[in-house]
Amino acid sequence: MSAPRHRVVLVRHGETEWSAAGRHTGRTDVPLTDNGRHQAALVNARLVGATWALVLTSPLQRAVETCRLAGLGAVAQPDPDLQEWDYGAYEGLTTPDIHAERPDWWLWTDGCPGGEQPPDVGARVDRVIERCRQVDGDVALFAHGHVLRVLGARWVGAPPLLGGSLLLSTASVSVLGWERETPALARWNDTAHLDPTLALRQE
């Protein structure tokens, strides 16, 4: 059976006060900043005119609001598997805060005490990927930085660890696709809509 030829478009939510400060924001339901709402509205230009077979969003308000401002709120379905990494005891801390106690800590190998480990997040995004691959048509996912980085890694069959090398900015757009029969990253961390000077020729 040949692989479907649909795309999966990933949208990271817009800026929050915690993301701007570098604080690990897992299940704390923080809102977008004014700048984050502006970023989310600019995502609309990247999505307008496309036809979506499925739109899923994390149930956390920063993702839901980004989806709404990007123009897809009316058709979006919440999916708890798209919630951000559960940082447990590290919720709200910055990486320097954590390194003060654990200098060698790295999320992608060590996970979080009282929260999720990399395989836990990998299992969640595998369910999302399976759901996407059952759909006949393009899919849009609105979620969070770390969970989407794991999703990008798992889409190409790599372990969650690869997500540590996949930077993802707030309000960025990424596209998962196919190279013949092989799942591929077609576009990653595209923020041209936020800064027109970075615009690339559209495919």
Active-site positions?
A: 13, 84
How far apart, in whole angstroms, are the C-alpha atoms of residue 135 and residue 31?
Answer: 31
Coil, helix or strand for 42? helix
Asked whether 133 and 157 are in contact (CB, 8 A), the reply is no
How far apart, in whole angstroms, are the C-alpha atoms of residue 131 and residue 18?
Answer: 30
* Residue written as token pair 């993301």: 19
Q: What is the H or E stretch that residue 143 is in?
A: strand 139-143
